[in-house]
Chain A
Amino acid sequence: MVDFTLWDIVRNLLLAARWTVVLSLIAFVGGGLVGLALLVLRSLDKPWLQRLVAGYVQLFQGTPLLMQLFLAYFGLALLGVETSAWFAASLALTLYTSAFLTEIWHGCVRAVPRGQWEAAQSLALSFMEQMRHVVLPQAGRLAVAPTVGFLVQVIKGTALASVIGFVELTKAGTMITNATFEPFLVYSCVALMYFALCYPISHYSRVLEGRLHVRH
Chain B
Amino acid sequence: MSDTDQNNNGAAVSIKGLRKSYGSNEVLKGIDLEVRPGEVIAIIGKSGSGKSTLLRCVNGLEVFQHGELQVQGQPLVYQDAAAMRSLRQRVGMIFQQFNLFPHLSVGRNVMLAPGLVKKEGGAALEERAKQLLARVGLADKFSAYPDQLSGGQQQRVAIARALAMNPGILLCDEITSALDPELVGEVLGVVESLAAEGMTLLMVTHEMGFARKVSDRVIFMHQGRVHEVGPPAELFAAPRTPELQQFLASIH
Contact = CB atoms under 8 A, between A and B. Distances in A.
Given A116-B101, A134-B101, A215-B145, A123 B117 contact: yes
A18 interface: no
Given A118-B61, A122-B61, A138-B103, A129 B116 contact: yes
Interface size class of A (residues with CB under 8 A): 20 to 34
A116 B99 contact: yes
B99 A118 contact: yes
Contacts of B158: 119
A5 interface: no
Nearest to B85: A124
Contacts of B117: 123-125, 129
Given A115-B95, A119-B95, A123-B88, A133 B61 contact: no
Main secondary structure of the interface of A (DSSP, over half): helix
Contacts of A123: 88, 92, 112-113, 117, 161-162, 165
A207 to B, nearest CB: 20
A125 B101 contact: no
B95 A137 contact: no
Given A215-B145, A215-B147, A216-B145, A125 B99 contact: no
Contact of B102 (A120, A121, A138): A138
Interface in A60-80: none
B88 A122 contact: yes
A110 interface: no
Contacts of A134: 101, 112
Interface size class of B (residues with CB under 8 A): 20 to 34
A158 B42 CA distance: 63
Nearest to A122: B93
B59 A122 contact: yes
Contacts of B165: 123-124
A178 interface: no
B103 A125 contact: no
B21 to A, nearest CB: 19
B97 interface: yes
Contacts of B1: none
A141 interface: yes
B81 interface: yes
B168 to A, nearest CB: 13
Contacts of A122: 59, 61, 88, 91-93, 162
Interface in A168-216: 215-216
A134 B95 CA distance: 16
Interface in B33-86: 59-61, 81, 85-86
Given A119-B101, A122-B61, A123-B117, 5 more contacts: A118-B93, A119-B158, A121-B60, A123-B92, A215-B102
